[in-house]
Structure 1
């Protein structure tokens, strides 16, 4: 099945030094950029993380410190990647929970303000888990009819990217309207719907420090919009201001903003908070 695209879709995967969004770094990035006309562009880069690769990571990925010592850093690759990715949507496997947040951090560390809020983020793992609830290898066997180890080398970003691309297309084939009798297992070949289906939380920032919450009136009742749905606003999801609207906290406790900017929070959290602060300042 050909993807029904209105703008380019980047299917990608990362290998990293670990799972900490603040401390860990990318060691490999692989992507397939699919254009609405069906043209596919593939990219695969080893990245110097500027820190040692742990032995267990090297054993798992097959990527050693020797492999990356002469490779470009993400800062050196960032502008090139940002140019390729601008105007695109993104898809991956567990990408909304890890790969997108870490990629956002790497862009910001490189001084590149790449705005993922304007992208539709499609997670083939979320679709798979909500439909079948297994891992990538099981997804590949289920949707593609073959064992993953027969076609790919395990734990390499370029291999996992190819497998994810095939899984995503297999998902759209299996859950196409009219393809099965279960009305709850239908997916339209539409990037808006796939991105909405991939959402697993109400986070505003990737780390979940700021989330969407209902606007309440003075009596504590939800404020409704013109369609009768609750109006939503950004609220803090941690600390002494947990549950309070971010805009209100910025007015009553402006030092909280400076504390977060100086603290050990992800760059993306600081980026989101800064955008809210600038928006509120423009309101006067």
Structure 2
């Protein structure tokens, strides 16, 4: 399944509402991070933000947020730590996130004197829609309507973030071949970079473990993971460095067949 590309990662939809469209000077008035953690725990972080300036009528007319709504919401510097906790090492999904939301976030971090959070990957559904040449216009509302996604309270951060995440799943289901590789493969594809192979260096030559659907491969005495966060790493190495991930890998939510999970988790006393 195409969704396996995100297995083992925290995945969240991300959206901002702002005082305008100029990434150099506009400020955040609302943010939302909606998704799930590695173990499936729901994530729902959203808040208004005091922008330190008046919200223009034109902006309020789009998202409905007014000066009195954000007066006691706290400046961006009071929110960034919570934002960073979720974004760091996560897969962040947004619509036009690369050219707008992420640029705004970077500028706010500069003003606050803090480092910009470091996600594992940024996935832009606008770029994907254009790359796949999905017919019609590619505005979020239009795409949601096309894929049967309800978008109530459009232009509010939580609604847009959640809808964008669902939109990605719908597009993935419709275009599974485009999402067959790793996260790095996907990012390279969206950036127009071609890789020599889709499994990573040498992995395609390794013998697949029976009933693992090619997700585990044998390299002499080592079992190698051929997908996700630790693609190309051995089970022994993962067990040493991130036993929590190994626990997930052999759990009921793993994409690997149960019979294989049972066989190998006993070896690691999980």
TM-score bracket relative to the smaller structure: 0.5 to 0.7
Give 1:129's aligned residue.
130
Q: Please name the residue that 1:45 is paired with.
A: 47
2:84–2:117 CA contact under 8 A, matched in 1: no
For normalisation by structure 2, the TM-score amounts to 0.64
Q: Given that residues 172 and 188 in structure 1 are in contact (C-alpha distance below 8 angstroms), is that contact kept between their aligned partners in structure 2?
A: no
Corresponding position of 2:170: 170
1:96-126 Cα shifts (integer Å, max 9, x gaps): 111111111112221211254x631110111
Which segment is superposed worse, 7-16 or 40-49?
A: 7-16
* CA displacement 1:30-60 (0-9 Å, x = unmatched): 1114223332211111000000000010111
In the TM superposition, 1:11-160 aligns within 5 A as 11-114=13-116, 116=118, 119-131=120-132, 132=134, 134-143=138-147, 145-146=148-149, 148=150, 151-160=151-160
d(CA) in 1 for partners of 2:138 and 2:49? 30
**Residue-by-residue CA offset, 1:139-168 (whole Å, 9 max, x unaligned):** 11223x25x4xx412211111111101101
Q: Which residue of 1 aligns with 2:190?
A: 198
How far, CA to CA, are the matches of 2:144 and 2:109 in structure 1? 30
- Tell me the distance in 1 between the aligned counterparts of 2:30 and 2:17: 5
SS in structure 1 at match of 2:144: helix
SS in structure 1 of the partner of residue 107 of structure 2: helix
What CA distance in whole angstroms lies between the structure 2 residues aligned with 1:200 and 1:60? 33
Distance 1:80 1:71 in 2: 14
CA distance in 2, matches of 1:105, 1:96: 13
User: TM-score scaled by structure 1?
Assistant: 0.61
Say which SS state the counterpart of residue 165 (structure 1) adopts: helix
Does the 8 Å contact 1:6/1:36 carry over to 2? Answer: yes
Structure 2 distance, partners of 1:71, 1:200, is 41
The answer to whether the aligner puts 1:188 opposite 2:192 as a matched pair is no
CA contact (8 A) 1:31 1:42 kept: yes
Secondary structure at 1:112 match in 2: coil
Residue 235 of structure 2 aligns with which residue? Answer: none
Asked whether the equivalents of residues 5 and 191 of structure 1 are also in contact (C-alpha less than 8 Å), the reply is no
Q: Structure 1: how far apart are the matches of 2:158 and 2:13? A: 11
Unaligned runs of at least 5 residues, structure 2: 194-270
CA distance in 1, matches of 2:175, 2:127: 14
Question: Structure 1: 5+ residue runs without aligned partners?
Answer: 178-185, 202-284
Contact persistence 2:12–2:43 (CA under 8 A): no
Residue 200 (structure 1) shift: 7.2
Q: Does structure 2 retain, via aligned residues, the 8 Å contact 1:121–1:198?
A: no
Please give the per-residue CA displacement for 1:240-261, whole angstroms capped at 9, x wherever unaligned: xxxxxxxxxxxxxxxxxxxxxx
What does residue 210 of structure 1 align with? none
2: CA distance, partners of 1:111 / 1:5: 34
